[in-house]
Structure 1
Amino acid sequence: MINNKVLSIILGGGQGSRLYPLTHQRSKPAVPIAGKYRLVDIPISNCINADIKRMFVLTQFNSASLNRHIKDTYHFSFFSSAFVDVLAAEQTPTNKGWFQGTADAVRQSMHHFLRHDFEYALILSGDQLYQMDYAEMIAAHEKSGAEISIATIPVDDKDAPGFGILKSNEDSIITSFIEKPDPSLLPEWTSDVSEEMKQQGRHYLASMGIYIFNRDLLVKLMADESTIDFGKEIIPQSIEKHKTLSYQYEGYWTDIGNIDSFFEANLGLTDDIPKFDLYDKTKRIYTHARMLPTTKVAGTTLDKAVLAEGCIIGAAKIERSVIGIRSRIGTETTIIKTYMMGSDYYETLQEIEENKIEILMGIGDRCFIKNAILDKNCRIGDDVRINGGSHLEDTETDTYVIKDGIVVIKIGATIPHGFVI
């Protein structure tokens, strides 16, 4: 049973400034994705599918909504040792500071981990989109007799300078590692990859930020308080001293690092055959079980649209867009290349009347919205025109942010009738 050997540690990331404003009121792992999930559901689901059911999620910024989501979602049997616990950065008599990096986060939380029996620590990122079988990676780690394993993915010339790049021998044991190499150095860092990867120009092996450490080694490495980061310090320093395996993965994987990659990952779900497959019953993605009604659509032309449950849609057209839970869209509205996260609750007719709500939650009538992300609980008035694209300069107002041509309407923002962006 893998379950009893492995403890999973999911790193929630820092302030998530590159995903701002989506991280203004929530931590990065709590950002809604695909209309009904949260980013943290991805590594947790991968763990559950691999029969790894003891998980810690480490975070330090805006962790309230993440706490609530995990508490409401992941319930295991009373007679099981399974759990998902959130560990927020905490001041202790010996430590007064925040997490300074990925390794420092693990170090500061070690006293929680060591209360559990485990042979291997599986260290994951909370902001990546992929479906990996960790059981296969752990089996490869055991078979090789490695002390550390790193999941690696082939990347091309364009992406390689943004990653830690490594080389391995014929037994997949890592022999050298360089963090974010200068493009001029790349010719020396090509690796032996599959024919399919070669055809795509992906000749370099990049670290995915997914690690397995033997328990005893992790305890030893964490004793050195001078190291604060796995990718920049622990991994490069360990390769010569400790047997380190490269576990090569060639499936779909994307790092949700900024608004652009987040936007493209969501819109990619509307493809005829999406690279990230939500329909694979062997790789289910789990999330909060909501008792929502079915989605109701009237008079709408749908083309490459993903609709979550509980929506009321009267739009004229929805094209290459993801529409999240409890979304309301008015008549004669056109939505193109947009991720609408939806709402946390429905407004009743009584509430609308009593509070004299002029602009309802959701999108009004006769709107045109393109190249946009609408965060939760937004109110878009009638006759609003939002036309994102490269013609727009980066900017921020009280209600919206423009980044890389993508218009992001802030959580709970109200856009008045007839407004144009």
Structure 2
Amino acid sequence: MNKKVVAIILGGGQGTRLYPLTAERSKPAVPIAGKYRLVDIPISNCINSNIKRMFVLTQFNSASLNKHIKHTYQFSYFSEAFVDILAAEQTPHNKGWFQGTADAVRQSLHHFKGYESEYIMILSGDQLYQMDFNAMLEAHIEADAKISIASLPVNAKDATSFGILKTAEDNTIASFIEKPSADLLSDWESPVSDAMAAQGKHYLASMGIYIFNKDLLIELLEGTDTNDFGKEIIPQSIENHKVLSYAYEGYWTDIGNIDSFFEANIDLTSDLPKFNLFNKGQNILTRPRVLPPTKISGTTLEKSIVAEGSIVHGSRIENSIIGIRSRIGKGTVLESCYVMGSNRFLDLEEINQARAKGVPHVGIGDRCFLTNCIVDKNAKIGDDVRITGGKHLEDIETDTYVVRDGIVVIRNGATIPSGTII
């Protein structure tokens, strides 16, 4: 275990752009790929990098996240490894909620600054990537930097959506600008690799992944009122300290809204997805569940992922993800859908009772057609339901579903009656 580093994973705010998936859970607790949670990504990256002392800072809708971490990341009693949850709390010195990323770390300093370490790594709980943090730490130490920022080469179109770093030949950061307008970009090109330059990626975007020398981080936070790393701490530090850019050229995406979340999940069904769940050296870890294998009957599957514990009778499933404990009825067709599954199995008595009452049970019924759709956990979709998502739909919010960017999101636990057309 690397004792030089303690990792802090930021649980994020209310996650309004991922609503309704964040109506009852925090962003890091949102299920991805049918069986994982978003928080599993940074935690797995840490464990794969032998960084096994982690704090997760939470605030909004944190119950399901706390439960997931408690049941998932249990180390040996004789190990110093841990994943601890630090919730926003009122103390004699702090009366309010976290006001930003830096404020969250400041309010939690007293919990982790006493741990033996030289460096603090700050990570986000809602990004999708696979990264060896050791390489970044080695570059930080070799350069004798005070702060290192992971950066992603991007093109001019994407650069306006990020904080952009201006670097010198030795990768030190000379200046920083938040979401520059297109007419300013010509002054913000940085040295990049030949491979990135060939793709027109001449700008370095901050990934929101930081390494701080521990003493400096404490100095920057204690007794100050700064709230945000990206907007305040980093720009101010560039003027007074050696700040290094660590260019990462692999796949990375910020799960910021329903569209990016949907796209990232559906891409996992590709023959060669951008995010590789089958990378032996960078396994994504999650809660071990004792579930039976999935049973499939009469279904044509094309480029799809089916998690364990499911019973699938559908006619065709294409470019879709079927989450744990899902039930898909006979004759049903799913195209470009993410079905999150359910939290528990239904027994036959419960199913028969629902049928006798003429109401849907948890899962998707018979003869349904769904496309461009996210079905949140424990949703009940009846028979002969037709949901056709796409850009032709306007954004709308109802008690049972929400439409965002043409994607229909069925709410957690919602009931969609038989014969419904959306």
TM-score class, shorter: over 0.9
* Correspondence for 1:366: 367
* Correspondence for 2:418: 417
Q: Give the letter for the 1:360 counterpart.
A: H
* Correspondence for 1:267: 266
SS in 2 for 1:288: coil
For residues 228-270 of structure 1, what are the alpha-carbon distances to aligned partners after superposition, in whole Å with 9 as ceiling and x for unaligned? 0000000000012010110000000000000000000000101
SS in 2 for 1:153: strand
Q: Give the letter for the 1:420 counterpart.
A: I
Q: Give the letter for the 2:145 counterpart.
A: A
* Correspondence for 1:53: 52
| Counterpart-to-counterpart distance in 1, 2:202 and 2:163 | 14
Kept in 1, the 8 Å contact 2:41–2:129? The answer is yes
TM-score (norm 2): 0.98
* Correspondence for 1:141: 140
For residues 4-57 of structure 1, what are the alpha-carbon distances to aligned partners after superposition, in whole Å with 9 as ceiling and x for unaligned? 110000001100000000000001100000000000000000000000000000
| Counterpart-to-counterpart distance in 2, 1:242 and 1:125 | 23
Deviation at 1:224, TM superposition (A): 4.2
SS in 2 for 1:240: helix
5 Å-filtered alignment, 1:58-69, equals 58-69=57-68
SS in 2 for 1:210: strand
Greater alpha carbon shift after TM alignment, 54-63 vs 347-356: 347-356
Matched, 1:325 2:324: yes
* Correspondence for 2:8: 9
5 Å-filtered alignment, 1:177-192, equals 177-192=176-191
Matched, 1:124 2:123: yes
* Correspondence for 1:246: 245
| Counterpart-to-counterpart distance in 1, 2:330 and 2:27 | 34
Matched, 1:399 2:400: yes
5 Å-filtered alignment, 1:117-266, equals 117-266=116-265
For residues 300-336 of structure 1, what are the alpha-carbon distances to aligned partners after superposition, in whole Å with 9 as ceiling and x for unaligned? 1111111111111111111111111111000111100
| Counterpart-to-counterpart distance in 1, 2:64 and 2:273 | 29
5 Å-filtered alignment, 1:333-348, equals 333-348=332-347
| Counterpart-to-counterpart distance in 2, 1:169 and 1:224 | 32
For residues 148-201 of structure 1, what are the alpha-carbon distances to aligned partners after superposition, in whole Å with 9 as ceiling and x for unaligned? 000000011121111110111111111111111111100111112122212322
For residues 108-147 of structure 1, what are the alpha-carbon distances to aligned partners after superposition, in whole Å with 9 as ceiling and x for unaligned? 0000012311100000000000000001111111111000
Q: Give the letter for the 1:313 counterpart.
A: V
TM-score (norm 1): 0.98
SS in 2 for 1:382: coil
Matched, 1:375 2:376: yes
Deviation at 1:202, TM superposition (A): 1.3
Q: Give the letter for the 2:239 counterpart.
A: E
Deviation at 1:282, TM superposition (A): 0.4
| Counterpart-to-counterpart distance in 1, 2:49 and 2:85 | 20
Q: What is the RMSD computed on CA atoms of the aligned residues?
A: 1.0
SS in 2 for 1:239: helix
Kept in 1, the 8 Å contact 2:163–2:180? The answer is yes
Query: Percent identity of the aligned residues?
Result: 68
| Counterpart-to-counterpart distance in 1, 2:188 and 2:234 | 17
| Counterpart-to-counterpart distance in 1, 2:361 and 2:130 | 37
Kept in 1, the 8 Å contact 2:168–2:191? The answer is no
Deviation at 1:350, TM superposition (A): 2.4
Q: Give the letter for the 1:378 counterpart.
A: A
Greater alpha carbon shift after TM alignment, 383-392 vs 155-164: 155-164
Deviation at 1:360, TM superposition (A): 1.5
Matched, 1:296 2:295: yes
| Counterpart-to-counterpart distance in 2, 1:201 and 1:120 | 34
| Counterpart-to-counterpart distance in 1, 2:322 and 2:352 | 26
Matched, 1:18 2:4: no
| Counterpart-to-counterpart distance in 2, 1:163 and 1:302 | 38
Deviation at 1:93, TM superposition (A): 1.0
Kept in 1, the 8 Å contact 2:15–2:26? The answer is yes
* Correspondence for 2:387: 386
SS in 1 for 2:233: helix
| Counterpart-to-counterpart distance in 1, 2:149 and 2:367 | 51
Q: Any stretches of 5+ residues in structure 1 without a counterpart? A: none
* Correspondence for 1:76: 75
